């Protein structure tokens, strides 16, 4: 009898598209030297993975963890999509929510591309981080890119609930980060800070617009009025 995980992988493979299998390695930088180097792809698009996740939302956590360890990107996405579905129905202090957070944090090495991080970190870590933002500060100290990105992107959940300070703190911390994916992540969260409280964003930009990475700046100001966007871009140009 086939194992449950094998059946799920077979279900994913039936939805695979050869054109996507050829496209994804370049899109997710899975080539030598890329941030996704060594990743493998079946060629399954996100809506199809989500449809499988909805059908198997009650999958045993041990099987979810097995999927999360799989060599194929879509299997890891499926595992995380299942965890996200579960978390949305749980209270932050429930035993099941604690188990999922522990599983997630102990397996961050497999949450190893931007789409996997962005799918999962907010729903899984956000409720706990809202109560204790030091969770994100600890995560930000990890050496790997994906833990660092998760520490920033989770702030989108916090910002939505009115907590902006950790996003500002981490954006300041990562001003000198070498990777463009972190510049985008910080810029994205700063933009959302501005949507919640524009004065906080203006204060950050007044201090750092001239020195922050250009990509971070562009993302952070994209919802500002034209005159303000020009003002802050000119500070960068004149620096």
pLDDT per position as a tens digit, 179-213: 999 999 999 999 999 999 999 999 999 999 999 99
Flag whether pLDDT at 2 surpasses 70.
no
Three-state secondary structure along 68-98?
A: HCCCEHHHHHHHHHHHHHHHCCCCCCCHHHH
How far apart are alpha carbons 134 and 161 in whole angstroms? 16
Q: Taking the CA atoms of the chain, what radius of gyration do you get in angstroms?
A: 19
| Residue with the two structure tokens 């510049």 | 183
- Start-to-end Cα distance in the chain: 66
C-alpha span between 138 and 128 (Å, rounded): 13
Q: Residue 214 pLDDT > 80, yes or no? A: yes
Using CA atoms, how far apart are residues 166 and 88, in angstroms rounded to an integer?
23
The per-residue pLDDT for range 74-108, each reduced to its tens digit, is 999 999 999 999 999 999 999 999 999 999 999 99
Contacts of 54 (CB under 8 A, 6+ apart): 85
Helix (H, G, I), strand (E, B) or coil at 40: strand
**What separation in angstroms does the CA of 108 have from each of 65, 67, 69?**
11, 13, 10
pLDDT surpasses 90 at 52: yes
Cα torsion 228, 229, 235, 238: sign: negative
What is the rounded CA–CA span in Å between residue 181 and residue 51?
Answer: 28
The confidence score (pLDDT) of residue 116 equals 98
Instruction: State the DSSP code for 113.
Output: S
CA distance 52 to 7: 11
Residues in the chain: 239
Residue 238's pLDDT band, with cuts at 50, 70 and 90, is confident
**Distances 225 to 49, 115, 167 between C-alpha atoms, Å:** 38, 29, 22
Tokens linked to 31: 């080539």
DSSP β-bridge partners for residue 40 = 72
pTM of the model: 0.94
What is the distance between the alpha carbons of residues 106 and 109, in angstroms, rounded to a whole number?
8
Q: Which residue from 24, 15, 89, 107 is spatially nearest to 52, judged by alpha carbons?
A: 15
The per-residue pLDDT for 1 is: 36
The Cα diameter of the chain in Å comes to 68
């Amino acid at each position: 009898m086939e194992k449950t995980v094998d059946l799920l992988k077979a279900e994913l493979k039936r939805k695979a598209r050869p054109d996507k299998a050829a496209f994804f390695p370049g899109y997710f930088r899975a080539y030598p030297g890329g941030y996704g180097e060594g990743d493998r792809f079946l060629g399954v698009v996100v809506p199809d993975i989500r449809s499988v996740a909805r059908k198997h939302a009650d999958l045993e956590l041990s099987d979810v963890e097995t999927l999360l360890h799989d060599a194929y990107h879509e299997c890891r996405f499926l595992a995380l999509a299942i965890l996200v579905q579960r978390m949305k129905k749980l209270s932050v202090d429930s035993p099941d929510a604690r188990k999922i957070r522990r599983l997630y944090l102990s397996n961050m090495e497999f949450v190893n591309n931007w789409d996997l991080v962005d799918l999962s970190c907010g729903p899984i870590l956000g409720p706990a981080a809202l109560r204790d933002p030091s969770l994100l500060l600890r995560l930000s100290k990890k050496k790997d890119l994906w833990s660092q990105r998760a520490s920033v992107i989770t702030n989108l959940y916090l910002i939505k609930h009115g907590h902006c300070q950790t996003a500002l703190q981490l954006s300041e911390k990562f001003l000198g980060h070498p990777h463009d994916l972190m510049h985008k992540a910080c810029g994205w969260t700063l933009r959302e800070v501005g949507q919640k409280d524009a004065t906080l964003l203006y204060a950050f930009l007044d201090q750092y617009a001239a020195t922050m990475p250009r990509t971070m700046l562009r993302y952070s100001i994209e919802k500002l009025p034209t005159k303000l966007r020009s003002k802050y871009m000119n500070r960068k140009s004149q620096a």
